[in-house]
Amino acid sequence: MLKPPAGPVPAKPRWAAVLHAPWLLASVLLVGACTLNRAAEPPSASSPKSPDVTSGQPTVASMLELLHRIGGSPSEEQSSIVTSARSTWLRTGSTQDGLTYALALGAPEHLESNPVEASRLLNTLLAREPPEALSGDVRRFAEVVRGEYAARTALYAEIARQKDMAARELRDSTLLNEARIEDLSSELARLRRERDEARRKLQAITDMERQLIEKEPEPTRPEGSR
């Protein structure tokens, strides 16, 4: 397990450069989590796993383990992990506990995931001055996670924009179709009125012809004809 640097900052480990590639973050998290699983002893069946988040100095390994726990836990335990991290952060206000809460809050594998608030909290923590400032590998890891959460936030915003645009286009199309239906209904009503008027005129002409025929005098017979 990696430990936080003490004294002079040592040379960056070889894997630290990988953390600067956001698109490799998922692979880093998966490899780190699997390594932790292989190295850790299996928990005893008589002692269930506790969802509590321990307060203390975080390391890259402990943060990977936290993200792995959230991803592999049922929803109830995920909620407990986030709630515990929030309570600890509100109680202590320390940078370390704030980082733990930000990681848990922004993790994408649970229903309460909020990358917007998590990114905002990470920005605040990364802007802190010594002695509360994050440093070394933990800071670089936090910066990579912040970038990943910010990218998800932008993706969600784009999805919301596309949904809003689709809804607006559907609404406009519906209004346009309704207007067309109204125009067609008006045109149909006009044609029906013209048809009825034509029928009325035709009936009037027919009545006039019948009246003229009825009024026409009968032809007179010549005298002496039988």
Are 141 and 66 in contact by the 8 Å Cβ rule? The answer is: no
pLDDT value for 35 = 41
Residue 149 within any structural domain of the chain: yes
Structural domain containing residue 77: 15-40+51-158
Residue 213 within any structural domain of the chain: no
Q: Is 94 left (phi over 0), alpha (psi -120 to 50) or beta?
A: beta
Domain count of the fold of the chain: 1
Residue 211 within any structural domain of the chain: no
Residue 103 within any structural domain of the chain: yes
Instruction: With a cut of 90, say whether residue 123 has pLDDT above it.
Output: yes
pLDDT in tens, 35-73: 444 334 443 434 344 444 555 577 889 889 988 888 888
Burial class of residue 163 in the structure, from the number of CB atoms within 10 Å of its CB (0-12 exposed, 13-18 middle, 19+ buried): exposed
Residue 138 within any structural domain of the chain: yes
pTM exceeding the 0.75 threshold for the entire prediction:
no
At residue 71, φ and ψ (nearest 5 deg) are -70, -30
Instruction: With a cut of 80, say whether residue 10 has pLDDT above it.
Output: no
pLDDT in tens, 71-97: 888 989 999 999 999 999 999 999 999
Residue 85 within any structural domain of the chain: yes
Residue 170 within any structural domain of the chain: no
Residue 225 within any structural domain of the chain: no
Residue 186, token pair as written in the block: 């008006």
Helix or strand holding residue 159 (H, E) = helix 136-215
pLDDT in tens, 132-180: 888 899 999 999 999 999 898 888 888 888 888 888 888 878 877 887 8
Helix or strand holding residue 35 (H, E) = helix 25-39
